[in-house]
């Protein structure tokens, strides 16, 4: 269906009417919808796998690992915890409120939610967010990416067969359609994408004072710091795996590596061997290696690689016909060069050298740039690891590991500054799609008159003593 401004407006009106009917307030109803969503994903997983292969060149295992399996795990977490999370909290009101001593905090849904999802993980970052919206008791409009057209078409088909449009719907189309959605008065916006577009989303949301959650890649990218005491073979193996994943089109992927100069050359050799072992010397020829989303994206990566041709020590090849560009190590790179001051979102990996005993100087440079969505540190020094991870500003991260913090139950996934605001996954997603409403239950007897006029000297003295 080709959407228009008018058709989107009608969808919002219909969803608001459905929300106001009160059906989504029931926890039982929400759980039933989550079970439907889970079944729809499992029953149609082959359709999703085929679509992801068309859009991103993903093999079946990577599609399941990165999108389908993660979504199922996410839904399971909401099913397991929703009854507990949604219970109203009871608080003692305090003697100042006597005799009205009990107060409740209700976790209320916002209403109509708008989820704007990207192309790189088109199922996880749409359906995964949808699960949080359903758990919170909202209706949902998903504006899926036009770049991942096959997956968006699959989502339109799957969601339309599973839910009525007035409850949940998927909208396809380009930037103009996204703007039509943003012009509507919805009650919650969740956007995943780039910082530049996020500014536009916030500007549009401000016109209706709509609360916004943003999950962004980070303007200057995510750093990986390798100290001289690190297990270099282990670090190289994990970094190679991560850079291969989705051809580097991952918001929490390593954008640049800073490695202690004492072990830099050794690390580079280990990293080369790790890439070769996992996908071969010419990665772009490997059938399991994903592709870049468009030929334009391919050309951008190829053009940037060409600027550093004299320092490419591995990779630097591709095929524009398949939109595959090999993982590419660029070494050495100065910390102030352009390639380490923006998000690459592709398979290029610039490597910066630093002196291990000057790590604080390195961290200061990183801290003075825009905050990343992730930070990775490889070291055997637990004291150093604790100090670094507790002093830097970033969304989330790992010590001696990559990306797996995304899969841990019960913890938030979020950014800070130019890498986002708000958080989700599990209980954090439930909180993101609900707002706490405080209600004091008053008594009609034994009410004190101290707060009422006239304010006599006796009342003033009693209040003064009471408040002290």
Q: pLDDT tens digits for 192-211?
A: 999 999 999 999 999 999 99
* pLDDT (average), residues 224-242: 98
398 is catalytic: no
* pLDDT (average), residues 294-315: 98
* pLDDT (average), residues 79-108: 93
251 is catalytic: yes
CA-CA distance, 42 to 48, in Å (whole number)?
10
The catalytic residue among 66, 181, 224, 251 is: 251
| pLDDT at position 373 | 97
| pLDDT at position 468 | 67
* pLDDT (average), residues 98-104: 91
* pLDDT (average), residues 173-190: 97
Q: pLDDT tens digits for 166-179?
A: 999 999 999 999 99
* pLDDT (average), residues 318-341: 98
| pLDDT at position 459 | 80
pLDDT band per the 50, 70, 90 thresholds, residue 467: low
| pLDDT at position 322 | 97
* pLDDT (average), residues 70-74: 96
Whether the pLDDT of residue 463 is over 80: the answer is: no
CB of 428 within 8 A of CB of 413? Answer: yes
The reported pTM is: 0.96
Mean pLDDT rounded to a whole number for the chain: 96
| pLDDT at position 165 | 98
CB of 252 within 8 A of CB of 358? Answer: no
| pLDDT at position 445 | 86
| pLDDT at position 461 | 84
Structural domains of the chain, with CATH: 5-216+433-437 (3.40.605.10), 223-413 (3.40.309.10)
| pLDDT at position 96 | 74
Better-predicted residue by pLDDT, 435 or 94:
435
Whether the pLDDT of residue 450 is over 80: the answer is: no
pLDDT band per the 50, 70, 90 thresholds, residue 451: confident
* pLDDT (average), residues 60-87: 96
Q: pLDDT tens digits for 112-146?
A: 999 999 999 999 999 999 999 999 999 999 999 99
The catalytic residue among 184, 215, 304, 432 is: 215
């Amino acid at each position: 269906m080709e959407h228009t401004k008018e058709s989107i407006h009608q969808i919002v009106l219909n969803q608001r009417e459905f929300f106001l009917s009160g059906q989504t307030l029931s926890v039982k109803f929400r759980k039933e919808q989550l079970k439907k969503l889970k079944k729809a994903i499992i029953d149609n997983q082959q359709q999703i796998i085929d679509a992801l292969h068309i859009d991103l060149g993903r093999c079946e295992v990577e599609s399941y690992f990165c999108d389908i399996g993660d979504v199922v795990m996410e839904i399971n977490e909401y099913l397991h915890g929703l009854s507990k999370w949604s219970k109203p909290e009871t608080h003692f009101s305090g003697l100042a409120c006597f005799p009205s001593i009990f107060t409740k905090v209700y976790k209320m849904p916002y209403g109509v939610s708008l989820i704007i999802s990207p192309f790189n993980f088109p199922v996880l970052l749409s359906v995964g967010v949808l699960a949080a919206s359903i758990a919170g008791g909202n209706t949902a409009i998903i504006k899926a990416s036009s770049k991942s057209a096959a997956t968006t078409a699959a989502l339109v088909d799957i969601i339309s067969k599973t839910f009525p449009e007035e409850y949940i719907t998927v909208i396809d189309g380009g930037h103009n359609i996204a703007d039509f959605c943003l012009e509507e008065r919805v009650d919650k916006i969740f956007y995943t994408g780039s910082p530049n577009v996020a500014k536009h989303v916030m500007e549009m949301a401000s016109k209706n004072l709509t609360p916004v959650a943003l999950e962004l890649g980070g303007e200057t990218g995510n750093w990986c710091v390798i100290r001289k005491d690190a297990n270099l073979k282990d670090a190289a193996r994990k970094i190679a795996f991560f850079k291969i994943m989705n051809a580097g089109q991952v918001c929490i992927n390593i954008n640049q590596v800073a490695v202690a100069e004492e072990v830099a050359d050794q690390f580079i050799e280990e990293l080369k061997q790790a890439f070769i072992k996992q996908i071969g010397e010419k990665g772009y020829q490997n059938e399991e290696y994903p592709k870049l989303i468009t030929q334009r994206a391919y050309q951008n990566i190829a053009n940037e690689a060409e600027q550093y041709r004299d320092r490419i020590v591995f990779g630097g090849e591709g095929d524009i016909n398949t939109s595959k560009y090999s993982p590419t190590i660029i070494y050495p790179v100065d910390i102030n060069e352009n390639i380490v001051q923006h998000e690459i979102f592709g398979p290029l990996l610039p490597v910066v050298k630093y002196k291990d005993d000057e790590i604080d100087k390195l961290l200061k440079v990183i801290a003075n740039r825009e905050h990343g969505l992730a930070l990775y540190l490889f070291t055997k020094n637990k004291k150093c690891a604790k100090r670094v991870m507790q002093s830097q500003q970033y969304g989330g991260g790992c010590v001696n590991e990559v990306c797996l913090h995304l899969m841990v139950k019960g913890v938030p996934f979020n950014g800070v500054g130019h890498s986002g605001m708000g958080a989700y996954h599990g209980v954090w997603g439930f909180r993101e799609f609900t707002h706490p409403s405080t209600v004091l239950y008053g008594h009609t007897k034994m009410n004190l008159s101290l707060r009422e006029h006239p304010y006599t000297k006796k009342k003033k003295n009693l209040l003064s003593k009471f408040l002290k």
